Amino acid sequence: MKYLTTIKTGILAALCCLAGCKEEALVAEVPAPGEGNSVPTGETRFVLPDAEGTNAHIWNGEDIQFELRRGTNDDKEITAAFDTSEETLDAMTAKYAEMKGINLFKLLRTESYELPQTIILAPSEQSVPVTVKIKDVEEGTFVLPLVLKSGEKELGVQFVEVIKHPAADFDMAWLDRTPSVTEPRLIAIIETAENDLRNAGNYVLYPNGTAQPETRRPLFDMTVIFSANMNWDAINGKPVLYYNESVRRILDNRDVFVKPLQDKGIKVLLSVMPNHQAIGFSNLDITGERTMIKEFARDIHEAIQQYGLDGVMFDDEYANYPETAESEQPGRPMIQMGSFHFLIKELRDLMPLVEGQAWKDRHNLITLYNTGPFTNGTTGNGWCLFSNKFDLIKNETDGWEDERATGPIAEDKKAVREWVKNPANQPVLDEIAQIKVGELLDFIWNDNYTRARTHKDSSTGKTEDTWIAGLYDGVNAEEKFGAASLEMSLEADYTIKHVRRFWENDGMEGGRIESVPASLTVQKTGGFQSLICFNLQYVPDTWNDAPFANLYLNDFKSIIFPSLGNTNSPEVRFEGTNYDTVISSYLK
C-alpha cells in the first residue's frame, strides 16, 4: 500500500495565491475540487496523472512524471516554463510548511533537481510529459514548489515533498528476536503535544554492553502516538475519532515522523482515548445491528490504513460515562456489558490475526492500557466488564450488591446488574461469553494502581481466574501482559526534575503505593515479557547553559534491567539527532 501524504487542491489554493500578492505575480487558477476531488477539464493544466485532485506528492526516490494537458477548447501551441524565482519559491515553501503544521520544510536546493527549461505542447498533442529529476538529496525535510507558466499565465502548481532520514544502521535481524523477562518488548508512549515522536527511535540498546556493538538495536519495539480521542458526534448520534492539533500534525506528516521509526523496525501505534464526553469503549450500544460499534471499529481500522500505522492502543480514561439515563449529556448509552467485547471482536475481524505471522509483518496490533474501574478486576470498585463473570453480577457479590462497605451501589452499576439478571438478555450474554478478549488482544499493559496490578483477579483467591476473558496463566499471559507501567516523566517547577516514582506519593488520588522495584518484581516473578514506559519526554542536551544528562539512560541501566534480573550489563544510549522541534511546554 502506498502511504502518500496528499493535500487537496482547494486547501492548497492559498499557496498558489502567494504569487497573486505581487503586481507582477501569477494569478492562481487552481480550481476547487469537484465531486470526488475531480478537477474541471476546461482549462489547460499541469497535473500528476492519476492524482489530479491533489497538489502535494511524496518523492519515492524515482523521477516524477507530470503532464501538461490541453484544455477542452484550446488548440494552439503552448510554450511553458517553470517559475524559478527564488523569492516566489521561498515564500511558497514557508506557506507550505505553515499549512502542514510544522516548521521543518526547507526549499530544496537547486543542485538537487533538474527541470526542463521549456515545455512545448503542439497543436496536435493532447498532453506532453514533464519529467522532474531529483538527485543528490542531503538529509532533511524539503519541498519543491513547481509553478508552471505559459507567459504570464499560470498553468498549475504542484508540490513535491523530499524527505531523507539518516539511514537505519541496525542489523534488521533484531526483529526476529525472542522477547524475554530480562529483555521484554518495550513500548514508549509519547505525549505528542510536547515531544517529538522521532526521539523514541534514538534510544539504542546494547544488550551485552558496548563491547558487542553488532548486537545493538532500538530500545523500543513499539511507540504510541498519544492520543487520538473518542468524541461524540451529537448530530449523527455516534462516536467518532478526533485528532487534536499535535496528533494531526504527526498523521499529516507521517513520512517525517512515523516512517523513520518504522524504517528501524519500530511499530507505531495510535492511542485512542475518550474525551470527557460521556462516551467510551464500555457504553457503545450493543442492541440491534450494533451499528455504533461496527462504524467505530471501521473508523479505527481506516485510520490505521490511511496513515500507515501498525495498530491501536485503547486507553479507557476520561470517558465520564453517564450515571443515569437522564444524564447531563443525553443521547449516550449507559454502561453496556459486552460493549468492549464486541468492539474488539469487530476490529479483530477487520485486522485478523495471521497464524505464524512474523513480527516485522505485524500491522494489525490491538492493545489495551488497563486503567480505570471499568477495565480493572473486581477488587475495590472494579466492574470486571472485560470478563465473562456474569455469575458474580447475578449473585450480587464482589461489589454488585446494593450496600457495600464503600457505600451504596451506583445507579449505572445497578443498571448493568439488572440488565445481566434479566433472562431476556441471556442470548446476548451467551454471545459475549464466546468472545475471549484476552486472546484477541496482542498486549495488555497494567497501570500500577492498587487494584488488579496483575492479570489475575485477586478478589477470588483463585490463581486461574483473571479479570479479562481469555487471558490465562502460561504463555498467553506471559507474552501479552505487562504488570509494570513506568511513568517516566519530567516535571516542571522551573527546574527539570526526574519523576520516575511519582506514584509513591501518599497524597495521590487512587493510592499508587508501590515503588519501581516493587512493580518490576511483579513483572519479573510473573514471567511477563512486555513492559510499558509512559510519558517518555524530550530531554534537552543543555539546561541553564550547562550540559544536561539524559536521566532515562541511567534508569534503564541501573534500575529497570537489573530489577528484571538482567545480568548481561546492557547499555542504553541516545544516538542521533535530539529533535527539539516540539519543545516541552515547561522548557519554552
Residue whose cell numbers read 507474552: 479
Q: Which of 290, 274, 286 is nearest to 239 (CA)?
A: 274
β 403-404/365-370 pair status: unpaired
**What is the per-residue burial (b if ≥16 Cβ within 10 Å, else e) of 200-214?**
bbbbbbbbeeeeeee
Q: How many Å from the N-terminal Cα to the C-terminal Cα in the chain?
A: 39
Concatenating the DSSP letter of every residue in 360-384 gives: GG---EEEEEE-STTTS-SSTT---
| Rounded-to-integer distance, Cα 109 and Cα 578, Å | 24
Give percent helix, percent strand, percent coil of the chain, each to the nearest 5. 25, 25, 50
The DSSP code sequence of 504-568 is: G-TTSTT-----HHHHHHHHHHTT--EEEEET-----SEETTEE---HHHHHIIIIIHHHTT--S
In whole angstroms, give the CA distance from residue 115 to residue 110: 10
Q: Which of 29, 295, 317, 491 is catalytic?
A: 317
- Reported as half-sphere exposure (CB side, CA atoms, 13 A), residue 364 has a value of 16
Known catalytic residue: 86?
no
Contacts of 61 (CB under 8 A, 6+ apart): none
Please give the Cα distance from 176 to 221 (Å, whole number): 11
| CA distance linking residue 513 with residue 535, whole number of Å | 19
Pairing of strands 546-547, 542-543: antiparallel
Cite the active site residues. 317
